[in-house]
Chain A
């Protein structure tokens, strides 16, 4: 579904991603983990069209999309929930969700989806007419995910869904993601913390300093310390 080959992204002279290869197949939940500054957010921003790559290819469902406008990519089936959630704080929950549904042409189905999403995140139904800025961190994360879901993406990308949330709230967010993935939604999730990744992931990439240093199935990584070693830099190279 998503094929990234030899992707290089630079901020001026600084290389943020250096020849990265990542593949996401339909129905998978692929996680990209790595320490702070590894290039995880840069990866998602580049896929979503917010950054232009300096080299390499990004193909979504067989079409080259690198450098496309974010609004066009989102209409093409890619949704990003960026780090820090970025809900519209001065708008109501309802208005935030309506911006999410804006690209939908099938209004009746979109309405049914809204009901389904409000079923998945009941707190949003309770706060439907409230100002989004008054929601707690966990509720804002749910709103950001709900808003992205209403676009009915074929690939949902989430940048650090657990950032700044209490453990119990993270549990809830991951439970929702698991349910969505089980329902067939393809996920590409970036996390700094490796704590819960293996509960949900089908495959994991570990990146450090802009390079993929390890990739394997979650099953294989569940045993042994390969992921921690790669994450903290003990493993050295991907093929080590």
Chain B
């Protein structure tokens, strides 16, 4: 039982992380019909901004050397500016293109950013020691939970609540939900398209920065592709949650994270290397049963 609870804590912690990435993808998809694979590179660059660009495998800290509040603010600023720059330079000129073109452009942006990091930091993985105090386990009701998992869950809960309040209570949040449902009608009512999309990218930047920091504390490793797997998993999360539904994206993130950890823990030893195959098999089964995802929005999703 204790073992199961321990596994569930791991599962919920990973689910929380994926929910944050899925929300970022879902939010931008909502207002732009763009599945932004560059979200993974926002995470990577946020993490690399912690250290001084050198060829060293144990680089000195840059933004990571600042006191925690300043460090968090600094990484957020870097990722927000990056997200806004990609929106302005790559996605805005293609805004009226079909979703397939937008998707391909996001791959292009992603490759560009990966190679930019490689150019500045070299392509070798590096180790970075930040927030190591958080990796020591805390004793909670007999369970030994690493502090970072508690922080991950608490931060996710706080961000989810903040996002819900923003979307439900603020004029910009309501406009964003309106634009996500029917972008053209929102524009006809005067909702400023550029501002709504920019705010969606700012939020995706904040979420990306938070995921950068949580990942780096968990793993202590910087690598060019560190954002890739979270984004692929989060993409599946948004698909099974129902594209365009933010509740679905968060729910999908939790489900994928939980399923991943449960498979890792309870699959027979010999099958564990194939965990992802089982996970993606589950995604296929969910989509066969509910092709539009778990949460379907009644309104037409396509822009007309």
Contact = CB atoms under 8 A, between A and B. Distances in A.
Contacts of B297: 89-90
A90 B188 CA distance: 18
Interface stretch (B156-164, B173-181, B256-264): B173-181
A115 to B, nearest CB: 19
Interface residues of A, number: 26
A235 to B, nearest CB: 33
Contact of B181 (A71, A79, A91): A91
A77 B184 CA distance: 18
A98 B178 CA distance: 11
Interface in B133-181: 171, 174-175, 177-178, 181
Contacts of B177: 88, 90-91, 95
Q: Mostly helix, strand, loop or mixed at chain B's interface?
A: helix
Contacts of A75: 190
A119 interface: no
B299 A71 contact: no
Given A50-B184, A98-B171, A133-B299, A74 B190 contact: yes
A148 B192 CA distance: 16
Given A69-B187, A86-B182, A90-B298, A99 B175 contact: yes
B287 interface: no
Contacts of A86: 182, 184-185
B247 to A, nearest CB: 10
A185 B164 CA distance: 38
A103 B298 CA distance: 27
Interface of A: 48, 50, 69-71, 74-75, 79-80, 82, 86, 88-91, 95-96, 98-100, 102-103, 133, 147-148, 151
Interface of B: 171, 174-175, 177-178, 181-182, 184-193, 297-299
Closest 3 CB pairs of A and B: A103-B190, A86-B185, A89-B299
Given A70-B188, A71-B188, A151-B190, 7 more contacts: A74-B188, A86-B184, A88-B181, A88-B185, A91-B174, A95-B178, A96-B178
